[in-house]
Every structure is written in C-alpha cells, then in structure tokens.
Copies of this chain bind each other. A is one copy, B any other.
Amino acid sequence: MKNDFNVIEFIKEFSTNCSKVQIKNFEKGETITTFLVNRNQFCILISGTADLVKYDYNGNKIIAERFSENSIFGEIFYNINTNNEFIVEAKEKCKVLLYSYDDINEKCKSNCKFHQTLVRYFPDIIISKITDLTSRIELLSRRTTRDKLLGYFDLLSKQYGKSFTLPFSVTELSNYLSVDRSSMSRELAVLKSEKFIEQDRRKIKLLY
C-alpha cells in the first residue's frame, strides 16, 4: 500500500477541472517557485528533475534536496521564519502540479476525485518524504567528505547495486554533500588510489 502507490496514477485520476489545482510547465533553468512568502503552496513534480537550492553569502551553492518524478515540495514544508532564500530550479523540462494547501480536509466545491485521492494517500506520500529527509540528515551529519561520499554511494548501491551512474554531475554532488568541489575531487582520487572505487565522471563502481 505504502510503496506501490504511484502519484502519476493519482494525477491521472483527478478531474482536471479541480479549481484548486494548477498544472504548469517549466523549461530548464527556470525557477519553479521560491520559498519567501507563505502561500501554502504544495507541489508535485509530475515529470522532470528539479533542485531545491540556496546560495550562502560566499556564493556557495547548496543543493538541499533533489526532486524527481513524483517528488513533493512546497512552502507548506518550509519554515518561513528563517531568513534563507530557497529556490526550486528546474534542471530539465518539468511538469508541475501546484496545489493551494490550506487544510487537507478542505476540498473544492465539487469534492472531485483529486481531493478524494489526496485525502486518502496524503499520509503515505508524506511519510515517504520524511524517510528521505531523515536519510539526508544522516548523510549531512557525517563529518568527513569521505564518509559523506561513502554514505551516499551506500544509498545508491542499495538501489542500483555496485555499479551505477550518479544522478548528479560531480560539481552538483559536491553541492549536495555540502563540501568543496576540489576537496571532494581530491577525496575521490584517494578512494580510487586505495582501490575502494572506480570512477569516471558520473560512473561509479564500488569495489568492496
């Protein structure tokens, strides 16, 4: 029940005339939304890839989260108190569902299929998001670049096995792990020289 639910199916079901839903398309590089004012926006990425990014005062880019098909995001999940400007950037063509979330139980006038399905599955959708965030916290709490890399490779290997292609470019990965790119590159070189991994750009093979 929890894992075989496909948001896409859910999207297909909703009646497109639901007054509280908008579907928008974005081109690569466009800003999908910013987390500045509290519009209670709740979004589902129907297709494409997007990043939740922030720039610190040094100009370092931080990729706080990466969204892919079926990911959920939006202002409702973000504490607007902080004075950090987050931006959701489309990495490629994206189709996004935008929903104005006030209360899960507040439906549109017609109580359409979309709302019925949303109420039914929202808890599960959102629990899996928490799961993701918890893993992310575990990763970021690691102290060394090496541990972050190995921890991240671990997560990927659970899904794809010993050989996989990073969902990030090397530069983006460093932003995702919140470390300096060249330092990370140096650490990758060490891991290679120690025969822990093979790596060529995005292609990684774990040798342990």
Hey, which bits of chain A sit against chain B, CB under 8 A? 1-2, 54, 56, 60, 62, 64-65, 76-79, 81-84, 103-105, 120, 122-124, 126-127, 129-138, 140-143, 147, 154-155, 158, 178-180
A29 to B113, CA, bound (A): 49
Q: Tell me the number of copies of this protein.
A: 2
A43 to B150, CA, bound (A): 31
A82–B130 contact, CB under 8 A? no
A2 to B104, CA, bound (A): 10
Instruction: State how many angstroms separate the Cβ of A139 from the closest Cβ of chain B.
Output: 9
Partner of A84, one of B2, B56, B138, B180: B138
A130–B129 contact, CB under 8 A? yes
Residue in chain B with minimal CB distance to A122? B123
Set of chain B residues within 8 Å of A138, measured between Cβ atoms: 54, 64, 82, 84
A81–B136 contact, CB under 8 A? no
Partner of A143, one of B60, B120, B124, B137: B60
B64–A142 contact, CB under 8 A? no
Residue in chain B with minimal CB distance to A123? B104
A64 to B133, CA, bound (A): 11
B143–A141 contact, CB under 8 A? no
Set of chain B residues within 8 Å of A60, measured between Cβ atoms: 143
Q: Given A134-B77, A158-B81, check contact A120 B105 (CB 8 Å).
A: yes
Partner of A126, one of B64, B82, B105, B126: B126
A132 to B82, CA, bound (A): 11
Set of chain B residues within 8 Å of A130, measured between Cβ atoms: 77, 126, 129-130, 133
Set of chain B residues within 8 Å of A134, measured between Cβ atoms: 64, 77-79, 133
A154 to B65, CA, bound (A): 22
Instruction: State how many angstroms separate the Cβ of A200 from the closest Cβ of chain B.
Output: 26
Instruction: State how many angstroms separate the Cβ of A47 from the closest Cβ of chain B.
Output: 23
Instruction: State how many angstroms separate the Cβ of A128 from the closest Cβ of chain B.
Output: 9
Partner of A131, one of B79, B120, B122: B79
B82–A154 contact, CB under 8 A? yes
